[in-house]
Each structure stands twice: as structure tokens, then as C-alpha cells.
Structure 1
Amino acid sequence: MKNINLKSIIIPSLALFLLVSCGNNNGNQQQAAQMPPTFPVSQLESKTVTGFQEYPTNIEGIINSHVRAKVSGYIQKVYVDEGQKVQKGQILFKLETQSLSQDAGAAKARINVAQVEVDKLIPLVEKNIISPVQLETAKANLAQAKANYSSISANIDYATVKSPVNGYVGAINFREGSLVSPNDATPLTTVSDIQQVYAFFNLNESDYLNFLENTIGKNLDEKIKNFPEVSLLLANGNTYPEKGKIQTSTGQINRNTGTVSFRAVFNNPNQLLTNGNSGRIQIPVVYENAIVVPQASTIDQQGHILLFKVGENNTVISSLITIKGRVDNLYVVESGVKAGDKIVVNGIGKLRNDMPITPQNVSFDSIVKPISPLFKN
């Protein structure tokens, strides 16, 4: 029996197997290369969403009373400190009154002299020894002396400067030894009532007209009363916990700025807000049954917003959309797409018109959830 050469059988078989395997792999690769790329796709639905229009605002206490000296003098004593809570009538400053006290003593002496003169002339007039005119002149001098004394006494009282309202003391602009007068441009301090604060902001003409057209009410007062509560975004990016209410508006467009002034009021129980705070008023805007798309699903080309719709045979075509608002990470669409349209929701930078794709359906709700920022400005 002849010996069989195993090498002559195994090696050709292995080569044939490798050749077949490579052929299959090349075929699979060619088949995969022929399949269109996969992109996530979602069908648009109508949603009711609430956004906010923001306007810069300045904060002031509802009462800001400038405290000024009513008489000239040197500050002898400051009784309060900045930020201190004070009551109406509480002493804030004491001015030096030595010279006024001396003037008051002299005025009092003149009253006594004038009184003596009147007392002396009365019996003489009764006995017809002198003319009544002399007595009337003496009485006039007495009245003048009393008026002069009253004026000096009032100035002495004015030297004690008291708080005109309940509130909090602002910056103290003058200290002990400073000479102050009623003509000073800068007040001694400001006392502010900040249990509530005013937020002042402006609407441009277009937004003001929208406010008038879209708010229920027969006149401006009714529209303001029916307007929803507003929010306040603080300078640190946090939302103030209290809601505010618009109280009033000038109702007139400023010729220089083209805006209309509004005033909202906020409760301030913890005195978090004070004079000079800044922020942004947020006015809620409700979009009912609106078409929304994620901003990440669009491209901004020189101010034009584009997205890609999925058409027949799973080919994509770019579509220009117009935007009427922004809510979180969403665009509120005015035109360009409608409910039921399918759009590519991610990776659109790789697309071109009439390009075939393999759609991967994702739920609409999953793509319209707000994205929480990792960091706050």
C-alpha cells in the first residue's frame, strides 16, 4: 500500500478555504458599503410649551427717601450704620448746635425786653398819657421777637436729623466733622423701604403692540391686571423665588428710545433684593399646539435655519424654517415643517440634498426634553 502525502492534501484545502473566506468577507464589505448610512429620525408632533421673553431691569425699593440737612452745620454724631434697619422718627445724625443755642438765648432775651416794654405801656395808654400807637408798636416788636425765637428753636430741632420712613439705611456720605447744608447735592444718606421692590423695564414698540393685542382686557389697566405673573432672573443666573406682578405702564412710547416703560412689584421678605440690583424680567409666553424642533437638529446658515426632512425612499431634503420663539433647547416653528413630518435629529452636518439614509426611529418626546446646563454663568 502506498503512503499518502498529507501535506499535498491539507495545504491545497487550506488555501481553498482561505480563498472562499476572503471572497465572503469582500462580499459582506461590499454589501455593507452599498447600504445607506444610518441616522436617527423622529416624527414631529404638536406640543404646548411655555417660553420667556427677557428684558433688562433695575431694582429699587418702593420708598427711597433722601435724607438731607435742613440747616447748615458740622456733623457732631452719626447714630446709625449702613444697612441698619431704622424706624420712622429714629435719630440718624446730630449737628453741632452751640451757635444756635447762643442765638436762641439772645432771642429769648429780646422777647423779655419786648414784653417789659409792652407791660410798661399798657397802663399809660389806659390813662391816656401816651398814644395807643406806641403800644401797638411795642406789641409788634414783641411778636417779631417771638417769631425770631421760634425760628431759631426750629433750626435747633432740625439739627437732629431723623428718619422720614421705616426702612434700611443706605450709604452714609458724610461722617463726624463734615460741614453740611441744605444746598448739598449729595444727601446725608438714603433710607429705603425694601419689604417690596420695584423692577423697572422697557418693551420695544413691537412687543408692546403684541402685549396689547394678545392680553385680555378692554383697556390698558384691565390688560395689566389680567397679565400673568412675571419672574426675575438675578445677576448670578438664579431665578428669584418670589413671583412679581406688573403694576403699571406709562402707555406712551418714548420718542428717543422707542420703548414703553413698565413697573413690576416683587415681595422681598428676606431682603435679598435692594436698591441698585439688576437682572432680567422674564415674561411667560405660551405656545399652544406648536411645532417644536430641537436646536441641535438644525443648521444656522447666515441667519437662515435649516433642517433635513426625510422624504420618499428615505432620501433627505433640506428645508428652510421660520422661527417664532425659543424655549430651552427648542425652536418654536412658524413655518417650514408640520406635524407628521419626519426629520433627521442628529448628525445633520454630514447630510446633503437627495442623499439616501437608513432611518433609525427615535421617540419624539426623547428629543424634546430640556437639557440641563452643566455650568451656570
Structure 2
Amino acid sequence: MRCSFYILLSMEEEKGGRIGQRPYILKIITERNYIIIIDMKKAKILLFVTALVAVLTSCGGGKQGLPTSDEYPVITIGASNAQLKTTYPATIKGVQDVEVRPKVSGFITKLNIHEGEYVHAGQVLFVIDNSTYQAAVRQAQAQVNSAQSAVAQAKANVVQANASLNSANAQAATSRLTYNNSQNLYNNKVIGDYELQSAKNTYETAQASVRQAQSGIASAQAAVKQAEAGVRQAQAMLSTAKDNLGFCYVKSPASGYVGSLPFKEGALVSASSAQPVTTISNTSTIEVYFSMTEADVLKLSRTDDGLSNAIKKFPAVSLLLADGSTYNHEGAIVKTSGMIDATTGTINVIARFPNPEHLLKSGGSGKIVIAKNNNRALLIPQEAVTQVQNKMFVYKVDAKDKVHYSEITVDPQNDGINYIVTSGLKMGERIVSKGVSSLEDGAKIKALTPAEYEEAIKKAEKLGENQSSASGFLKTMKGDSK
């Protein structure tokens, strides 16, 4: 039982050789077995108590409506519609962040862009000195011309070889007739062995000429193929040279915003450089990367027939920006990584947001906000819960207004004000909703509704204001606390 004693003191104070009267109001509170003792001694000040009035205000017949030590607010558990919001730290990236790297080496002769500028796909960003590459194109073109001339010459050689073959075939046909006639004349003993052998030798020589002409054609045709291969090789070199010349004009691979520009006009850039010349970020759509715990992912997978279906059914998510404001467009979770990080126990999740105003920039940060609705939630205020190590307890109130220390479990996701009870409480049960730190198991209380309790608190505060002065104290003693 808490008791409050208000004491009006009229004290004589000696200061500067004079003694005067000065009023004081003291409030002494006793609660159960604890008593507050006030030491009135003060250096260089001599106090003489000349009058003492003690009034018991809360033990017995005190003021009506003030909360006593056995009065507590009590609520009845019922189903509520709860929406809990969970936040996850997130990183913002453009849906397409493309590093721009030169494909040829050289000095930058022209810089056509500025940091933060919006560019279109194919727009020229840089120009690299192209004099060397123009010379390479001219040289490659000369090689193509030379190779094409070689092809023309090889084809002419084929024509000449065909003519030689035709001539050899004609000579072979003539020598064959001569040899056949010589055989007839020899058989009729018109000519001798010498004439026959001469005709035979001429025929065989003509046949050898035919074979030589045929071989010449094959060689000429092979030379044509080789020359044509030389043309193709020269044309490939010309194409490469032209490409390299074109690469001197570094173009944007995508539409988006220009990132930092570490290289300026006159700087030497290289195709093998590890640092890109800039980055183009397509921020028309933004991807926000965050991590969910393994427990959250498993919960989703079990409740919605697998993670893929859970993602499809997942409600829209919000984005809390770095300045604390909420982004004015909702997003959707589109995919997750295929593996859980063994170190952190989390899985990477990607949400996609429209960005028509280009407010969000790649590389920024924020927080993903996921709302969770529960239409049958058993909500209790966090003030009603005491926590001992990793366990949570409430004080249930029975029909005789006795309290019982009872363990409960709650959903780990909460809004910072209420808990959703998952076990330990049932609808219709009553619990103490505030001030539980002073309760003991089995204690009998006087149950008030939260509204009654708050009204009593307001009256107590008003009474305290009145007692802050001597005149107010006297009014309170007379029963006027207004």
C-alpha cells in the first residue's frame, strides 16, 4: 500500500543576521515497508520548525479517483487485425549498370559528356587519337588490293594452262593418227622400224605434254585458291583495322546516367586497364538488393507452396530512403539468390521499383519495408511483457483479480509497440497491461480499465500541480484540486 504524507512547514531561517519566516511543503511517501527519510540539515542555514501539519492523503479516506499501489490497468485478449512492418537494410542499383571500357589504346582527344549527364545508347562519349588506326586501315586496304591482284593473275594463269592443255591434246591426237598410220605402213612393209619408232616417240611425247598441261592447270587452280585465301585474310585485317578505327569513338552501350569520369582529355587510356573510363547506369527501373534470414525464407516457402510461388504472391514492398522518407512508388520482389550464405545465414533478395522521376540513384542506400497482415492476431502491448533472458512473461488476471506469472511466446517481428502472441494466451483471458515491474505472482489487484487508469493518472498529475505551491497545497487540503 502506497501512502503519501503532505507536510506544511513554516521555518525560521537565519541569514545575514536576520531571522525570517519561509514556508516549505514536503511530500513523504511510504510504500509497503520502505520509508523515505529527509535530512533537513543544511550548512550555514539554521532551520527551526515552528509548525507541522501532517495530512494522510492516500491511506484510508484520501482523495477519490487517485491510483493506489494495488490498482492496475487490465485488458481482455481478443483477435485483432494487425499489420507488422519489417525493415531490411538495402542497396540501390540501376537495373543496368554498364562499365565503359575502351577497346583500343590511345590518348583521349575529345570528351563529349559530363558526370551525371543522361546519354542515349550509341552516343559518342569519348574520342581517342585515331591517326595510328587510320594508317593501319590504309595499309590493310593496300594488302587487300595486292591480294586481289594476285587472284586475278592466278586466274589468268589458269586460262593459260587450259590453252596449253588444249594445244597438247591437239598435238597428242595428231601424233596418235600418225603413229596409227605408221603401224599400218609398217605392217605392209612400206616403212621400216626407224620410221615406226619415230612416230611412236612423237605420240608418247605428245601424251606427256598433255599430262604436263593438266598438272599446270591443277597448279594454277591451287594458286587461285591460295590467292583468294590471301584476299580473305587481307580483308579480315582490313575489317579489324576499320573496327579499331571505329573503336576510337567510344560509344555508350546503353541509355542512362554517366558516372564518374576519372580520365579527362589528353589522358592515356588502355584496353587492358582495370579501371573503366566511366559507368552508364540505366535507372529507369531500380533494383534494390537486401537480405532475408533463413528463417524468414523457410516461413515463406512453407506457407505459399514453395519460395517461387511465395515470391509471385508476395505483396508490394516499400522503400524507406536515406532521409527517412518513404519512396512514392511501390516495388515488387522479383528474385532471390539460389544459395544461403553460410556465414550470415541470409539469402539475397532483389526487389524492383519504377523510377520515372529518376529520384533514385545507383549506389544509394535505404531500407526495404515489408508489411505483414494478420486478421486473427492476439495483440498485447509490449509494456505488458517482462523478459527474463530469452523468455517472455505476462501477468494473467483470474476471476478473483489475482495475478499469475505466465510464460508466452511472440512473433519476433513487431512494430515496437505491440507483440503478436503465438502461444501462452487465449482469447477472453485478461492480463495486466502496464506497470508489471512492481507485481508479484499471486498478488491481488484492483482491476481498472485502461481508460479508468489513465483518468486516475491525470487526476494524480493535476493534484501534483496543485501541491507545487503553498496556496495550491492548502486548496488541496480543503478538497479543491481544480
User: What TM-score results when the alignment is normalised by the length of structure 2?
Assistant: 0.62
Q: Confirm or deny: 8 A CA contact 1:86 1:163 kept in the other structure.
A: yes
Distance 2:419 2:58 in 1: 42
How is 1:64-83 mapped onto 2 (pairs within 5 angstroms)?
64-83=97-116
Q: Confirm or deny: 8 A CA contact 1:49 1:327 kept in the other structure.
A: no
Is 1:311 matched up with 2:398? yes
Q: Confirm or deny: 8 A CA contact 2:297 2:307 kept in the other structure.
A: no
SS at match of 1:275: coil
Counterpart AA for 2:83: T
SS at match of 2:139: helix
**Alignment gaps of 5+ in structure 2:** 1-54, 165-215, 455-482
Q: Confirm or deny: 8 A CA contact 2:105 2:268 kept in the other structure.
A: yes
Match of 2:82 in 1: 49
Return the offset for 1:235: 2.9
Q: Confirm or deny: 8 A CA contact 1:200 1:261 kept in the other structure.
A: yes
Q: Confirm or deny: 8 A CA contact 2:331 2:351 kept in the other structure.
A: yes
- Distance change >3 Å, CA 68–CA 356, structure 1 → 2: same
Match of 1:89 in 2: 122
Deviations 1:30-73 (A, max 9, x none): 4459x754333332322120113333332221112221111111
SS at match of 1:100: helix
- Distance change >3 Å, CA 305–CA 255, structure 1 → 2: closer
Distance 1:173 1:353 in 2: 70
Match of 2:432 in 1: 344
- Distance change >3 Å, CA 158–CA 310, structure 1 → 2: same
Bigger radius of gyration among the two = 2
SS at match of 2:300: helix
Q: Give the aligned CA root-mean-square deviation in angstroms.
A: 3.3
Match of 2:279 in 1: 190
- Distance change >3 Å, CA 308–CA 120, structure 1 → 2: closer
Identical positions, percent: 33
SS at match of 1:306: strand
Match of 1:19 in 2: none
Query: Which is worse superposed, 109-118 or 63-72?
Result: 109-118
Is 1:179 matched up with 2:212? no
- Structure 2 counterpart of 1:102, from 105, 115, 135: 135
Is 1:238 matched up with 2:325? yes
Distance 1:316 1:31 in 2: 26
User: What TM-score results when the alignment is normalised by the length of structure 1?
Assistant: 0.77
> How many residue pairs are counted as aligned between the two chains?
340
Q: Confirm or deny: 8 A CA contact 2:286 2:360 kept in the other structure.
A: yes
Is 1:282 matched up with 2:377? no
Is 1:270 matched up with 2:357? yes
How is 1:1-377 mapped onto 2 (pairs within 5 angstroms)?
29-32=59-62, 37-113=70-146, 126-127=159-160, 132=220, 141-215=230-304, 217=305, 220-255=307-342, 257-324=344-411, 325-362=413-450
Return the offset for 1:90: 0.4
Distance 1:26 1:81 in 2: 80
Return the offset for 1:121: 7.0
Distance 2:70 2:365 in 1: 51
Distance 2:422 2:231 in 1: 85
Query: Which is worse superposed, 310-319 or 136-145?
Result: 136-145
Counterpart AA for 2:135: Q
- Distance change >3 Å, CA 343–CA 99, structure 1 → 2: same
Return the offset for 1:308: 2.8
Return the offset for 1:122: 6.2
Distance 1:220 1:304 in 2: 31
SS at match of 2:236: helix
**Alignment gaps of 5+ in structure 1:** 1-24, 367-377
Query: Which is worse superposed, 91-100 or 355-364?
Result: 355-364
Distance 1:221 1:308 in 2: 42
Distance 2:118 2:238 in 1: 35
SS at match of 2:114: coil
Q: Confirm or deny: 8 A CA contact 1:36 1:358 kept in the other structure.
A: no
Deviations 1:115-169 (A, max 9, x none): 5666677667645599736666655555544433332121110110101111111
